[in-house]
Amino acid sequence: GMANNAFFDMGAAIHISGAKSVIVKDCDIRSSGDTSTANVKGNYGIVIGSNYYTNIDINNNHIHNIKNAVWFSYGVDRSPFNYGIPNPFPGKLYIKKNIITDAVAALQTGNEYLKNAIMVDAVFYGGNDSSAIICSENEINGAVNGIKLSGVNGSLIKNNNVTLIADKATIKVAEQYGICLEPDWLGYGGGSAVTGYKTIVEENRVTGYDYYAPIPSSGILLKQRAETEIGCNIVNNLTHGFKFVGYNPNTKFWDNSMPITNKYGFTLEHQGIIGRQGNWNSAMGIICPSNNSWEQPAAVWQQTTSTAFPQYMTNTINSVPSQSQLVVLNSTTNPQINPNGSGFGLTFNETYRHIAGDTTSPIFYANSNNSNCVRCASANTDLRRSTEDLTLLEQIADGTILLYNQEPEDRLLVMQEQLYELLHNNADILANSSSLQQFISNNNWNSLDFIYYAGKYLAEGNMEMLQILLGFWPEQEGLDETYYQYFEWMIAKYNDPDFNPDEATVLEYANRCPLTYGTIVYAYRNLYNAITNKIHEFENNCEG
């Protein structure tokens, strides 16, 4: 371990709140707890929340046998308890070069350590996020869940090594992940000086423990999040190498490796949608291949195991099979929209397969990924848009997109709310489609407009305008009511710093389905964690 500071069998080893500059470095944090009855020991390793910080550096710590190792629970750009007040000291959060492991000895049944390795949460919707989050070079071994960012943008997740183990707790998690990204409230602030609004996830390695385990696992899990670049990652021995849940607009996916050691290389769940991929020219005319690698053709994947344990290169869950083109991918030899991995130097032409056994779409991919992880070197990385690229967005806007039959109207409205925000922050998309321009015009002074501007005013700290807007709120049900209640609480907290909403009411909202009640549900979950000062598991109420 490290010699500077050592902590043993603490309920929370390091808990810092409200500091302007924090350095937690070269600390050794351990616990002897090995059963659920000993959960008072080693419940939390490093917990930090700060309203006005210039720099937080969590660096080179050794954390062993702790249930929740590193948790950044709130901060002014992401989760102020004086809601809506801009941070005059926009800073940076570094979580780097930490070694986080489970117990050295074999874990007993009922053990809850290591449950969550690294969590970064935001509480309020929106964020004038001029700061950067850099999570890199962490070694995580034996975790139930690895790294999660929720509500934050402008982040870089790079060169982390995550190895998962089975959850031995009595009450187990519903799913496991190596890296999980939840909605980041895109576009209300100046973005990060490091990455802009987007979050970059590259050169990470995630290894699971059993790709047919009863609890599903994902190497990299994206949930209704915009402007994410996922490149040069390697995933092994997982249920889903990569899983995209819901509408994830403007996602770029390239040079990732999905070996045959996964049950599904690439999964779309609940009408998963990402951005256009594949071999086409950038704005400066340079080819930008997606170059993702499955290493083996589909036929080989399916022959690796018995019929009782099939493996597929791609997969859809809770989606309409005929709408599997909801992921927009493209290649030079297959220009139509299709649900495939496309790549440069196409060496295989196999059949697209998913859990329903659909065989109607071809799959193109590269037999190896680019080890140098070069994305359009010396070129403009904003890829040129095409007519096909806009078709799916126009179908969302006009309501003609074919949706999964569980509450389709609510799901469509949530997708339209995300699209409305996307169009306000991507003028080039809007300029190329009269249909999308009409969509914006049709929703002026309707609920989507109110939700967008309420989030914008909150992020700017303009609480007076937010309060005026709430006085004219158009509806009080479903999506509108869910957003309204959150904004109302923000106003109450602004007017009375001692105000906290009722915990039971917050929990009710936190357990709603974000696919039908909006991405604001994730903010409710982070809020519930913050006001209870504990990390909770929430219900999954999105199944049909």
Tens-digit pLDDT string for the chain (544 aa): 455 788 988 889 999 887 778 999 999 999 886 554 444 578 899 999 876 677 889 999 999 999 999 998 875 443 333 444 444 445 688 999 999 998 655 556 566 789 999 999 877 533 444 457 899 999 999 999 999 998 887 789 999 999 999 998 888 899 999 999 998 765 444 444 445 567 889 999 999 999 989 999 999 999 998 878 888 899 999 999 999 898 887 777 777 888 888 888 888 787 777 665 554 444 444 455 566 777 665 556 655 555 567 677 777 777 654 443 433 333 333 333 333 333 222 223 333 333 333 334 334 444 455 556 665 544 334 444 444 457 778 888 999 887 766 788 999 999 999 999 888 877 877 888 899 999 999 999 899 999 999 988 877 778 899 999 999 998 788 999 999 999 999 888 888 878 889 999 999 999 999 999 999 999 899 889 988 988 998 987 786 5
Instruction: Read off the pTM.
Output: 0.86
Closest CA to 269 of 212, 218, 308, 231: 218
Show contacts of 345-353: CB within 8 Å, 24+ apart: 345/289, 345/291, 348/297, 350/297, 350/298, 350/299, 350/313, 351/298, 352/298, 352/313, 352/314, 352/324, 353/298, 353/301, 353/302, 353/312, 353/313, 353/314, 353/315
Please return the burial class of 3, using the count of CB atoms within 10 Å of its CB with bins 0-12, 13-18 and 19+: exposed
Residue 427 near residue 382, CB atoms below 8 Å: no
Confidence (pLDDT) at 497? 75
Confidence (pLDDT) at 236? 96
| Boundaries of every domain in the chain | 5-365, 393-532
Strand partners, 314: 266
Going from the C-alpha of 74 to that of each of 17, 166, 525, the distances in angstroms are 9, 29, 13
**Biggest alpha carbon distance in the chain?**
63
Distance CA 256, CA 104 (A): 32
Distance CA 85, CA 493 (A): 11
DSSP character for 355?
T
Pairing of strands 99-101, 68-75: unpaired
Coil, strand or helix: which one is 8? strand
Q: Where in 352-442 does DSSP place strands (E)?
A: 362-365
Q: For residue 229, give the H/E element and its range.
A: strand 228-231
- What is the sign, positive or negative, of the torsion defined by CA atoms of 245, 202, 183, 453? negative
Q: How many CB atoms lie within 10 A of CB 106?
A: 8
Angle at 97 between CA 91 and CA 101, to 5 degrees: 120
Q: Which of left, alpha, beta for 522 (phi over 0: left; psi -120 to 50: alpha)?
A: alpha
Confidence (pLDDT) at 60? 96
Sheet holding 145-150, edge to edge: 12-17, 44-50, 68-75, 116-121, 145-150, 176-181, 217-223, 240-247, 264-273, 312-317
Residue 277 near residue 314, CB atoms below 8 Å: no
Distance CA 45, CA 64 (A): 9
Confidence (pLDDT) at 228? 86
Coil, strand or helix: which one is 462? coil
Coil, strand or helix: which one is 497? coil
Closest CA to 311 of 265, 366, 351, 277: 265
Confidence (pLDDT) at 373? 66
Distance CA 299, CA 449 (A): 48
Confidence (pLDDT) at 343? 29
Q: For residue 508, give the H/E element and its range.
A: helix 503-510
